[in-house]
Chain A
């Protein structure tokens, strides 16, 4: 969490937001402002290359608006945002910014453009003017990284939700991004589809060092991140490691958020007088702590 303009720091930080403010403005026919909603209100943060960040917050907290700023789909009314050192206000750099910070959306059907999987993955490189002879290698490479190479000639309509989202991720990977922004990519998927998509994203982050920004409603997804940013009414309400965030369950509750299920279990056990040795944020930790506590009882 830093707003410092220190240049050595800016070089390390792949995303650097300073005091972002954004309003959704509704106008009537004469152009008069009817209603203005503040979606982002002085948001500042910086994210190191290679981190896995989860952004959580209830509906309307501004997390999707923030995501759209990260690849210059929206420009801040005030403040500046640097993506890998590029100012999103710079119209000449907009393609480079979008290439650097690729975005995957919620609805898999509404972001697949091609009628065949490989055609869709090629859409980004084609737009960037990548030479023809290099596009096919990029497409094959991107599809194999999300384990979808064998479906390359399939129609997107014949794929499952999880497969469609993996194709969408491949479409971004084919542009060789440094940051992957995922705006609730699992919200419309079944549990197995969710798992497919998340493990693909985690593998890309872990093995290739691609920075991942996961916007999510699911606290258990957020628990697997390196750092969690909690948004509330356009501001950053909390930030820290998942353990730091989820050990403040009362504070989260006032923001309309729950803690992951394993943490809830630990809280309930605590109320029953069984205190665990720490705050478990995932199932494995919970099981380990319960076993540890149980053996101490004997």
Chain B
């Protein structure tokens, strides 16, 4: 628990790369575009294109691949389950049968597609979190969601809450640690018993934590008011987000990639016949 506060949020990897310098809004849009493309693509050349794009995206970010793969560990189980279920439960032409277990041709196809999609999706979006600080990410979201203010969505307030939450996570973690130790010193037991008992044992931890969080919130609100905070109206920024040439170039590249991924990925030019003369994947 003592190490909790050392966890870096959003797993930012400091480095000096083109991707790091890109406007955070570009990175959010590119990530979303890439994710959408993965669900549009359904041909092998299309996946090769996506792989090329992803390779470029990762290489340019200068984040070591092993860092990226470490992030994959946590989703490995999900990946494994997806593959297993798709492999055995897709009906179709039998490839291998093993008593009641049947692997179909369609099963293999869908399982590998899902695996590739998931891996690409996670790698693609982790480039964004590896190269963008949480603050810049919140700024980007505030800016990208600004049109929603017309629909009375409190965009600035949501962004402010997000950044305050990020600021207070390490503080509250430290506090949790302190309260836990204080309660353990009074004989509280957080480790034994079944799951329900353990959940109940958390009450002496959660109650003081909540009280303290409310007190902090109250103090912070007062401090913000004392520093003339009055919402987004008339507010300026020290470092406003400004698009540079490289950002426009990145948008162009994304557009090119999206067009190609529809053309190739949807097989509009019937390229798959080159790979599978028999017709289709």
Contacts and interface: CB of A to CB of B under 8 A. Distances in A.
A126 B142 CA distance: 16
Interface in B197-246: 216, 219-220, 222-230, 234-240
Given A115-B134, A127-B228, A157 B223 contact: no
A111 B223 contact: yes
B238 A135 contact: yes
Interface in A231-269: none
Contacts of B45: none
Given A118-B238, A135-B236, A128 B228 contact: yes
A281 B36 CA distance: 73
A113 B224 contact: yes
Nearest to A131: B236
A119 B240 CA distance: 12
A82 interface: no
Interface residues of A, number: 39
Interface in A88-128: 95, 98-99, 102-103, 105, 107, 109-116, 118-119, 122-128
Interface stretch (B91-99, B110-118, B164-172): B164-172
A143 interface: no
Given A95-B228, A98-B226, A115-B134, A125 B238 contact: yes
A105 B216 CA distance: 12
Contacts of B5: 157
Interface residues on B, range: 20 to 34
Nearest to A155: B170
Contacts of B238: 118-119, 122, 125-126, 132, 135-136, 139
Interface in A128-162: 128-132, 135-136, 139, 156-157
Contacts of A105: 219, 222-223, 226
B236 A126 contact: yes
Contacts of B170: 157
Given A115-B134, A127-B228, A109 B171 contact: yes
A125 B238 CA distance: 8
A116 B229 contact: no
A172 interface: yes
A175 interface: yes
